[in-house]
Amino acid sequence: MVQIGHNISLPERARRIRRHALRMGEVQGQGYIAQALGIADVLAVAYFHATTYKPEDPEWEGRDRFLLSIGHYAIALYAALIEAKIVPEDELETYGMDDSRLPMSGMAAYTPGMEITGGSLGHGLGIAVGMSLALKRRRSRSFVYNLFSDGELDEGSTWEAAMSAGSYKLDNLIGIVDVNQMQADGPSLGVLNFEPLGPKFEAFGWFVQRVDGNDIDALVEAFDKARHHSGPQPRIIICDTKMAKGVPLLEVRERNHFLRVEPHEWTEALRIIDAGITA
């Protein structure tokens, strides 16, 4: 595994990822900041415990591939890439601006470390299946991670990919579902009920774990089990997360899929994060 400054704790990594995301959100005054705060713990464990990569060479052939299917979560992944030293921190001030390498929706052609363009939802898992197949045929030891959302469970293409992964026994594929219970049209289960989620993936032949996606110890254990599971099957970690985790004034927003935040609220949010865990 690549450990960048391994003396820094995972909770502190998550705090810094949240802070980077808030600073980018402040540039635009709005955005998908609640998702970024909610998924920060998952990204901290993924980038600073589970995956193999070289910050100085984002296209290194031996790397694990981390796919962001949900393109509007780009602000979250940028924050992790900044913390991992793949993207310089000073670039966060350009978030969403013309000619920035950090557009509001993730695009592989723009950003180092961004493996795919994930604008239209429901395609990431299918791409991950293709990548996993290709890597296996090349006898690569790399894993493919695919982060997707509970909203993408509404897409038939997601389930076609899930069936394919089980059929091909892709033991180098690790899916991560962010179940934050919120979509653009409202609460996820009110849009389309995808539960019971674990048994559905099990029926497609996956090794399934479900954890609190804001519990770093539980995430470390789940990622380790996913990587070291001996069965010839794809693995999935279902992560139940809280939108805007760590910033109470945003957590309580009734509809927080896309947030518009007042200047004084950004200041307060950063103050709350800065008062949190330190290395």
Q: How confident is the model at residue 222 (pLDDT cuts 50, 70, 90)?
A: very high
Q: How confident is the model at residue 277 (pLDDT cuts 50, 70, 90)?
A: low
- Roughly how many angstroms between the first and final C-alpha of the chain, as a whole number? 20
Question: Residue 6: its pLDDT value, please?
Answer: 65
Specify the pLDDT at position 192: 92
In whole angstroms, how far apart are CA 130 and each of 67, 135, 164? 12, 9, 10
Give me the mean pLDDT over the 201-222 stretch.
98
Between CA 83 and CA 77 the distance in angstroms is 10
pLDDT band at 1 (very low <50, low <70, confident <90, very high): very low
Show the tokens assigned to 196. 């019971």
- What pLDDT is stored for residue 3 in this prediction? 46
Find the range with the poorest average confidence among 10-14, 237-241, 254-258.
254-258
Residue 279 banded pLDDT, cuts 50, 70, 90: very low
* Higher-scoring residue by pLDDT: 231, 255: 231
| Gap between the Cα atoms of 13 and 11, Å rounded | 5
Q: What pLDDT sits at residue 62?
A: 97
- Which residues, listed in sequence order, are joined to residue 148 by a DSSP beta bridge? 177
Q: What is the pLDDT of residue 166?
A: 97
Whether 176 shows a pLDDT value over 50: the answer reads: yes
29-67 residue pLDDT tens: 888 999 999 999 999 999 999 999 999 999 999 999 999
Domain annotation for the chain: domains and CATH numbers: 10-274 (3.40.50.970)
DSSP one-letter code for 183: B
CB 102, CB 96: distance < 8 Å = yes
pLDDT number for residue 162: 98
Percent of the chain with pLDDT over 70: 97
CA distance 218 to 212: 7
At 123, is the pLDDT very low, low, confident or very high (cuts 50, 70, 90)?
A: very high
